[in-house]
Amino acid sequence: MPVPEAIAAAMRQTNELFNTEVGGRHNIAALDKIYTAGARILPPGAPMIEGREAIKAFWTQAVAAMDPASVTLASVHAEQAGDGVVEIGKAEIGMKDGSVVTVKYVVHWKVEDGAWKWDTDIWNMNQ
């Protein structure tokens, strides 16, 4: 089922928060508004990580290591799945040397405290 525009708009708001706060400002605290408390991430090169606090620790390290200039998330395909949404997306990570790293991902979105958040997040690189 396609995602109603009101939900798609709420999802864009969460993604925009990730782009500006995490990608741009390296503000890890913003992840409280992006991941559910019980979220799971499956990063390349590391085992699955469960729970928002552990996820924040992961991103603290990852953002420090990668030091991105910008992140831009874009939805490629999204469909409603019960109370949630399953989304395929693309991230473009702008590096400070001007290069761009392209990442593709699948996110299972859920509503927590009235906000659309990432409950499962897995990604990999095209190259």
Question: Which of the ranges 2-10, 38-46, 62-70, 92-100 carries the binding residues for a copy of itself, by CB under 8 A?
Answer: 38-46
Task: Report yes or no: 123 and 97 within 8 Å, Cβ to Cβ.
Answer: no
Question: Which of the ranges 8-16, 23-31, 39-47, 55-63 carries the binding residues for a copy of itself, by CB under 8 A?
Answer: 39-47
Q: With binding defined as CB under 8 A, does residue 61 bind a copy of itself?
A: no
Q: With binding defined as CB under 8 A, does residue 125 bind a copy of itself?
A: yes
Among 77, 95, 96, 100, binds a copy of itself (CB under 8 A): 77
> Residue with structure tokens 């990852």?
62
Question: Residue 25: which H helix or E strand, with range?
Answer: none
Q: Which of residues 84-123 bind a copy of itself (CB under 8 A)?
A: 84, 86, 88, 104-106, 108, 120, 122-123
Distance CA 124, CA 127 (A): 9
Q: With binding defined as CB under 8 A, does residue 68 bind a copy of itself?
A: no
Number of residues that bind a copy of itself (CB under 8 A): 29
Among 24, 43, 51, 94, binds a copy of itself (CB under 8 A): 43
> 3-state secondary structure string, 26-78?
CCHHHHHHCEEEEEEEECCCCCCEECHHHHHHHHHHHHHHHCCCEEEEEEEEE
